[in-house]
Structure formats: C-alpha cells, structure tokens
C-alpha cells in the first residue's frame, strides 16, 4: 500500500480529537482548496466534515478492497465498519445515535498534484448506511 493511502485510512478511520492535529494531518494529505464531488471548498470544510463524522461513529475499522495509483490518480474501494454512537448528519437530515453497528461501502477516485489530493470523487452507499441505522426502511416491491 502507498504512504498516502496509509495516511488517508488512518486519519479517516481514527481521526485525532485535537482540532489542530486533525487539520495538520489533513493539510499533509490534501491541497487547499480542493474540489470534491464537483464542489470547490477550503480545507477547513473537510476538517469540519471529519469532525462531524468522528462524532457520529466509533469503534471504526477500514478494510481496503482494491487500490490503483499512478502519479496523478488514486482510486480505492473500501468498507468502513463501526458503531453509530453520535448524531450523523445524513443527506436526509440528522440521525440520532442508535448504537447499531454499520458497514459502509465506498469508492474514492482522486486526483493527485505534487503528492497531495487536489480533488476527485468520493462515493459512498449512504442509502445502505441509513437503512442499517434504521433511518429509512427499504420498501417492498
């Protein structure tokens, strides 16, 4: 595995609780600004997202399924597992802690510039996550 993948998995699976440490670690991995999922944002927005995510989930682990990396592209698929122990700010609104275990499948396709992530696409199965947390019920056909 590459150094950048190791750092990504470490900071997103077990983010530091100290805001300055978290920002320093993310700044070592990402450019500022960066463009994710078509939205250009300052690094501070990513720091805020990391804090919200860390507050919603605990006991996390990440299983790396596949990685492909060149000098300018990093793509990887993974499964993140953990426990929902805080409020999750989901696409359909906040989901209060349920204590349920979850398994989130995701794929990141990222652009690298000078060894840092400058943008790309991060796609996760949030509908599957929301079903596991009981926030949505899968309809019958």
pLDDT digits (tens, 9 = 90+) for 41-80: 999 999 999 999 999 999 999 999 999 999 999 999 999 9
- Under the banding of pLDDT at 50, 70 and 90, the label for residue 1 is low
- 93 sits in the region (left: phi over 0; alpha: psi -120 to 50; else beta) called left
Name which residue leads in pLDDT, 140 or 37.
Answer: 37
- Greatest alpha-carbon span in the chain: 49
Angle, helices 19-29/43-56, rounded to nearest 10 degrees: 120
Q: Which CATH architecture has domain 3-132?
A: Roll (3.10)
Q: Is the pTM of this model over 0.75?
A: yes
């Amino acid at each position: 595995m590459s150094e950048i993948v190791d750092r990504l998995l470490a900071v997103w699976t077990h983010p530091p609780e100290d805001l300055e440490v978290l920002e320093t670690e993310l700044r070592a991995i990402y450019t500022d600004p960066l463009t994710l999922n078509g939205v250009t944002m300052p690094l501070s927005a990513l720091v805020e997202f990391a804090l919200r995510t860390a507050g919603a989930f605990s006991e996390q682990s990440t299983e790396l399924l596949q990685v492909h990396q060149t000098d300018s592209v990093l793509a990887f698929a993974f499964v993140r597992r953990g426990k929902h122990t805080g409020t999750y700010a989901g696409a359909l609104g906040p989901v209060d802690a349920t204590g349920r275990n979850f398994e989130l499948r995701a794929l990141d396709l990222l652009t690298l510039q000078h060894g840092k992530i400058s943008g790309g696409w991060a796609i996760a199965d949030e509908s599957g996550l929301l079903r596991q947390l009981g926030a949505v019920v899968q309809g019958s056909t």
